[in-house]
A and B are shown apart, each in its own frame.
Chain A
Amino acid sequence: MPVSRDLGPMAAPKPAFWTRSRIRSVLVQFGFVVLLVLLIQFLLANTMQNLARQGIASGFGFLENRAGFDIAIAFLDFDRNGTYLDAFWTAIVNTLVLATLGIALATLLGFMIGLARVSPNWLISRLAAVYIETFRNIPLLLQLFFWYFAILRPLPGPRQSFDVAGTVFLSNRGLYMPKPLLDSGAQLALLALVVGLIFALFMARSARRHRAATGNSVAVAHWWLIGLVGLPVLTWFATGASVEMSIPSLQGFNFRGGMVILPEMLAALLGLSIYIAAAVGEIVRSGIQGIDHGQTEAAQAMGHTRGQIMRYVVIPQAMRIIIPPLTTQYQSLAKNTSLASAIAFPEIISIIAGTTLTQTGQAMETIALAMLFYLTVSLFIAAVMNFFNWRVMRRSF
């Protein structure tokens, strides 16, 4: 039977070019982008027109004006004579400090809870489960109020504050502690300590590598001694450094001098990290349980202890499962710092979308700044976590 390879007459007539799938999808997408741009342009123009018609001020010129209000917690120097832009920076730093400390604490606590959750000890694993179910299922705002008033109510006023040796004071005004005032020599010595630590870490790492490559161990104790003690002490005496302590003392209504952790800061930090730690705990548990049991059995067969199995076999593999959902939790912690404005922690919402908004009345601009900030922070967290994820994935097992 002759087999015709000529499919010519059978082939469908060549379709019109706009119905070809690739061209069509390009056309549709192009059309969509044009529509989107037009829509955004229309929204902006319409908004500007309405603002102008009602005589409402717009633009970011207000950022140069004098703010005229004070901020209790400021990691940057800020006072009422600063501009709204200075207030914005102060709010950014406050928010970032809270988010960073919160993430660190939530991670630490979350890993402990996660490990406890998979513990063979019935009591420990139950307690971890109770922790997770309690804190995960109560709205964060309520938890923040709970911590805030749980901290405030039992504490006495500043005149009846608890004190430790007349130097550390705890009252409902906050925890006041002595603050070391470093002169230039002491600052140099501190710097030397950091340099020494990095140096010692570097030496320890190269020693580990040497041992991994050759099997011969190299002594590193003396490097640690030089890095952590020798260098800083030498700098200290070479510069004749001295440290004075600023000790808080009660003057008038409140303590002056020293440094302080305000109740708002403490409550915000506790509330955020305890809440997110519950979610982190579940992520860690699922990561650990997601590792095939065969891995553990194989490691057991090789005579590893339980701790070793966790540390060298399970956790490194579990990290692949843990990191992606962890990113989401970190982002949500960073965004949830906005709730801390309810308990008077001066962050972006309180300073920018609160005080600045009402004082200047420029709702669009201030809300846009706040949105830009949260977007930047979230994308930054995603970028950092993606980098870690990439490093974990790169390791092959």
Chain B
Amino acid sequence: MKIYPILTTAAALAVAAGGAVSAQTLEEVRERGHLNCGVSPGVTGFSNPDDEGNWSGFDVEVCRAVAAAVLEDADAVRYTPLSNTERFTALQSGEIDMLSRTTTRTLNRDTALGLNFAPVMFYDGQGFMVRQDMGVSSVLELDGATVCTSAGSTTELNLADYFEANGMSYEPVRFDRADEVLAAYDAGRCDVYTSDRSGLAARRLVMTNPAEHVMLPETISKEPLAPAVRHGDDQWFDIVTWTVYALIEAEEYGVTQGNVDEMANSENPNIARMLGAEGSPVGEWIGLDNKWVHRAIAAVGNYGEIFERHVGPNTPLEIERGMNALHTNGGLQYAMPFK
């Protein structure tokens, strides 16, 4: 009888529809045994798979830190590379538990998209790259230029707003994927390549001749890049938020990947409490065991170490700390107290 397949399909659909997004992310992650983390599909320094499929990078370390805190294993992460247009839907629908993917925190995303943003991991801004031989020294000289950009990012809107505000025109060439933006700019389709400055620094490395291209001095926008989780699970939001704070706080207190075991017995009560010394309530408050911060730092190091390892001045990206320095060094990175 033909009706059975139809009924089966209907039943399967009904079950699928019933699988509502649960508020118990922590329970799910523990039961599953791994963390599902959304990352960029290949940005040097931020998230890049090697030839064996092992992901590494600045954004990847956040996933690893959370996995270490929650699952006691920094490698228990399944990475999902997501394009600009896929990222929010993947998070909203529960396909991933958290998004750590050079994503700008904005009002629209924080509210209408149903997301919660953890503290900013990287303060960035939109920059412009041009060919050196064009002889351009400012964005204000770019009236009438052809601009390559990727679709579905804050970049597009900043670009239009900035050119509008300065009474300039431009011709946008908009690609789905960052790889094609790069290839088209490299092939000479555009005069200008615009993106977050960190992204430009990363992509310049893979151009045919990196030395031919220069970054213009202007930064036309604020791009605070932060990990995100979905609305409706406060405990999970707290875990991701305070894992990021833990990385920053560790740098401020001089706790590193190398000395975290000694520091656990520190005389400084602040450090001892954060790292879960006897009688510390940090585990109880957040719903994990006492050693969660300890494990996160042992797995990935403190914020400064992560920065130096993946994007800092001694990496090919050569990005200075700048705004991303600790507040004690004149930067913006400021963790809330572990009290």
Binding site for B on A (CB under 8 A): 28, 32, 35-36, 39, 42-43, 46-47, 49-51, 53-57, 68-72, 80, 145, 148-149, 152-153, 155, 157, 172-173, 251-254, 256, 263-264, 341-344, 346, 349-350, 353-355, 357-363
Contact = CB atoms under 8 A, between A and B. Distances in A.
B211 interface: no
A39 B232 contact: no
Q: On chain B, which size bracket covers the interface?
A: 35 or more
A361 B113 contact: yes
Contacts of A42: 14, 17
21 contacts: A42-B14, A53-B21, A54-B114, A54-B231, A56-B92, A57-B111, A69-B156, A70-B171, A72-B174, A149-B183, A152-B188, A252-B144, A253-B142, A254-B146, A344-B173, A344-B184, A350-B174, A354-B151, A354-B174, A358-B85, A359-B157
> 5 closest A-B pairs (Cβ-Cβ)?
A358-B152, A56-B114, A361-B113, A57-B112, A54-B114
Interface of B: 3, 6-7, 10, 13-14, 17-18, 20-21, 84-85, 88-89, 92, 108-109, 111-114, 142-146, 151-153, 156-157, 160-161, 164, 170-177, 180, 183-184, 187-189, 191, 230-232
Contacts of B187: 149, 152-153, 172
Contacts of A353: 85
B103 to A, nearest CB: 10
Does more than half of chain A's interface fall in helix, strand or loop, or is it mixed? helix
B14 A341 contact: no
Given A46-B17, A358-B151, 9 more contacts: A42-B17, A51-B114, A68-B160, A149-B187, A253-B145, A341-B176, A342-B180, A344-B175, A349-B176
A354 B152 contact: yes
Contacts of A28: 3
A50 B17 CA distance: 10
For A28, A148, A341, A354, which residue has the most chain B Cβ atoms within 10 angstroms?
Answer: A354
A358 B84 contact: yes
A153 B175 CA distance: 17
A355 B88 CA distance: 13
A363 to B, nearest CB: 5
B174 A359 contact: no
Does more than half of chain B's interface fall in helix, strand or loop, or is it mixed? mixed
Nearest to A44: B17
A342 B17 CA distance: 32
A32 B10 CA distance: 10
B128 to A, nearest CB: 13
Contacts of B231: 53-56
A69 B157 contact: yes
B172 A69 contact: yes
A361 B173 contact: no
Contacts of A49: 20
A342 B177 contact: yes
B151 A363 contact: no
A182 B332 CA distance: 59
Contacts of B142: 253
B178 to A, nearest CB: 12
A252 B153 CA distance: 28
Contact of B174 (A46, A55, A155, A344): A344
B172 to A, nearest CB: 5
B113 A56 contact: yes
B174 A346 contact: yes
A56 B152 CA distance: 18
Contacts of A51: 114
B13 A39 contact: yes
A363 B92 CA distance: 10
Contact of A152 (B89, B160, B184): B184
A50 B20 contact: yes
Contact of A360 (B7, B108, B180): B108
A77 to B, nearest CB: 14
A43 B151 CA distance: 30
A153 B188 CA distance: 8
A74 to B, nearest CB: 11
A53 B230 CA distance: 11
Contact of A39 (B14, B145, B157, B161): B14
Contact of A43 (B6, B17, B108, B180): B17
A80 B160 contact: yes
A63 to B, nearest CB: 14
Contacts of A264: 173
A274 to B, nearest CB: 20
A263 B175 CA distance: 13
Given A152-B189, A252-B143, A70 B160 contact: yes
B173 A72 contact: yes
A322 B232 CA distance: 56
Contacts of A69: 156-157, 160, 172
Nearest to B183: A149
A361 B20 contact: no
A359 B161 CA distance: 14
B89 A39 contact: no
Contact of B144 (A251, A342, A360): A251
Nearest to B144: A252
Given A55-B111, A56-B112, A172-B189, A46 B18 contact: yes
A285 B227 CA distance: 57
B113 to A, nearest CB: 4
Contact of A32 (B3, B143, B180, B230): B3
Nearest to A52: B114
A65 B299 CA distance: 46
B181 to A, nearest CB: 9
A81 to B, nearest CB: 8
Contacts of A362: 112
Nearest to B109: A361
Nearest to B152: A358
Contacts of B146: 173, 253-254
B102 to A, nearest CB: 14
